[in-house]
């Protein structure tokens, strides 16, 4: 027997819900939008290619006060960046009692309908502003800054791996070691990364006659982000520091 107050849906986790959303999103909107998973505190941050318009999305299997509050608090302090619209991704059967409240405070509730291969409501176009639109614009002072590379991470994971600016720099250090065999302190300076965690006596790298090389404690950041790491290696000629003539530790 179905329990009172419970709703049934086919998703076992927020990550599975996000995956279904992104699969449908790519079929419908890949030419006009980009999805950044686990970015700036959002499970998914959508960015419209034509004008940079942003939609921040929090996913939850049940629409409740906790996720509503989570959606409201990001980027609300003075001077903080935020998205143009804020949305809650929930199963179609979830949270009907909160829908009017969300509409009143400017949050859009979106659902993915995998069987029908569509997302409701449809994402807004550049010229779709209307007082009757389900998308409520927040007019932020600044939009969220975007990472150079689109994160290759799982959206909505319970313990998400995030592609932060620091992680991109760490991936560049990993690429330098793979391509050149070692790195120096000046390489860290070139990519804008503090070397102390890496080069200390018990750090992530080991000192050698040619510079710093991987050791037993070196994290495998490339394994965490294989797609982005491949892109960083492809871009190597554009960001890599020149090979100098000084010593291996200071050049």
Could you read off the pLDDT tens digit of each residue along the chain, which spans 251 residues? 344 444 456 789 999 999 999 999 999 999 999 999 999 999 999 999 999 999 999 999 988 898 999 999 887 776 789 999 999 999 887 666 788 889 899 999 998 876 777 899 999 988 767 677 899 999 999 999 999 999 999 999 988 899 999 999 999 999 999 999 999 999 999 999 999 999 998 999 999 999 999 999 999 999 999 999 999 999 999 999 998 644 555 54
What confidence score (pLDDT) does residue 2 get?
40
What confidence score (pLDDT) does residue 226 get?
97
* Structural contact between residues 82 and 75, judged by C-beta atoms closer than 8 angstroms: yes
What confidence score (pLDDT) does residue 150 get?
97
- Joined together, the tokens standing for residue 176 give 């330098």
Task: For residues 14 and 11, give the distance between their C-alpha atoms in angstroms, rounded to a whole number.
Answer: 7
CATH match for 14-120 among 3.40.1350.10, 2.60.40.10, 3.40.50.1000, 1.20.1260.10: 3.40.1350.10
Task: For residues 30 and 143, give the distance between their C-alpha atoms in angstroms, rounded to a whole number.
Answer: 21
What confidence score (pLDDT) does residue 6 get?
44
Of residues 167, 249, 161, the one with CA closest to residue 205: 249
Residue with tokens 């807004």: 124
What confidence score (pLDDT) does residue 79 get?
74
For 186, phi and psi rounded to 5 degrees? -70, -25
Q: Where are the domains of the chain?
A: 14-120, 165-239
Q: What is the pTM of this model?
A: 0.88
What confidence score (pLDDT) does residue 9 get?
62
Bridge partners of 58, per DSSP, are 88
């Amino acid at each position: 027997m179905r329990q009172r107050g419970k709703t049934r849906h086919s998703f076992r986790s927020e990550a599975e819900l996000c995956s279904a959303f992104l699969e449908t999103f790519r079929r419908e909107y890949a030419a006009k939008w980009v999805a950044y998973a686990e970015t700036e505190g959002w499970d998914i941050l959508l960015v419209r290619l034509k004008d940079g318009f942003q939609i921040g999305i929090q996913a939850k299997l049940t629409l409740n006060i906790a996720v509503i509050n989570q959606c409201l608090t990001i980027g609300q302090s003075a001077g903080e960046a935020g998205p143009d619209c804020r949305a809650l991704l929930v199963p179609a059967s979830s949270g009907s009692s909160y829908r009017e409240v969300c509409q009143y405070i400017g949050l859009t509730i979106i659902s993915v309908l995998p069987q029908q291969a569509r997302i409701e409501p449809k994402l807004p176009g550049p010229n779709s502003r209307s007082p009757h639109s389900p998308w409520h614009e927040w007019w932020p002072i600044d939009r969220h800054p975007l990472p150079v590379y689109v994160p290759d991470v799982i959206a909505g994971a319970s313990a998400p791996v995030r592609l932060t600016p620091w992680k991109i720099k760490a991936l560049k250090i990993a690429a330098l070691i793979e391509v050149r065999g070692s790195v120096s302190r000046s390489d860290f300076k070139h990519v804008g990364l503090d070397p102390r965690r890496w080069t200390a006596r018990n750090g992530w790298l080991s000192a050698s006659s040619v510079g710093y090389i991987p050791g037993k404690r070196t994290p495998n950041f490339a394994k965490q982000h294989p797609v982005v790491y491949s892109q960083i290696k492809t871009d190597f000629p554009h960001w890599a520091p020149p090979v100098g003539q000084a010593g291996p530790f200071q050049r």
